[in-house]
Amino acid sequence: MTKHFLVAAVMTSAIAAGASASLVVGWTIPTAVPAATTGVSYNYGAADLGSAASGSMLSGSHAAAATTWSSPAGNGSQFSLSSNNWAIGDFYQISFSTIGAEAVDVTWDQTRSSTGPGSFSVLMSINGGANWTTVLASYTVIQAGLAGNNTTSWNTVTNQPLFFTTSVALGETASNQASVLVRFSSLVTTSAAGTNRVDNIMVNAVPAPGAIALLGLAGLVARRRR
104 lies in a domain? yes
What is the C-alpha to C-alpha distance for residues 136 and 166, in angstroms, rounded to an integer?
11
Asked if residue 134 lies in contact with residue 183, where contact means CB atoms within 8 angstroms, the answer is no
Encoded amino acid at 56, one letter: S
Contacts with 58 (C-beta within 8 Å, 6 or more apart), sequence order? 27, 43, 44, 45, 46, 47, 81, 92, 93, 94, 201
What is the C-alpha to C-alpha distance for residues 71 and 81, in angstroms, rounded to an integer?
5
pLDDT at residue number 150: 75
pLDDT at residue number 3: 40
Q: pTM of this prediction?
A: 0.86
Q: Helices 3-18 and 209-225, interaxial angle, to 10°? A: 130
49 lies in a domain? yes
218 lies in a domain? no
6 lies in a domain? no
120 lies in a domain? yes
37 lies in a domain? yes
204 lies in a domain? no
Encoded amino acid at 136, one letter: L
pLDDT at residue number 106: 98
pLDDT at residue number 211: 55
**Could you tell me which of 82, 67, 56 has the C-alpha nearest to residue 199?**
82
Asked if residue 36 lies in contact with residue 8, where contact means CB atoms within 8 angstroms, the answer is no
Q: CA dist 36 to 39, 67, 68, Å?
A: 10, 10, 7
What is the C-alpha to C-alpha distance for residues 24 and 180, in angstroms, rounded to an integer?
12
pLDDT at residue number 217: 39
Domain residue limits at 106: 29-175+186-197
The tens place of each residue's pLDDT in the chain, 226 residues long, gives 444 433 333 334 433 444 689 999 999 999 999 999 999 999 999 999 999 999 999 999 999 999 999 999 999 999 999 999 999 999 999 999 999 999 999 999 999 999 999 999 999 999 999 999 999 999 999 999 987 777 899 999 999 999 999 999 999 999 999 999 999 999 999 999 999 999 999 999 999 986 544 444 344 344 555 4
User: What is the domain count for the chain?
Assistant: 1
224 lies in a domain? no
Asked if residue 105 lies in contact with residue 26, where contact means CB atoms within 8 angstroms, the answer is no
Buried b (16+ CB within 10 A) or exposed e, 57-91: bbbbbbebeebbbbbbbbbbbbbbbbbbbbeeebb
The number of residues in the chain equals 226
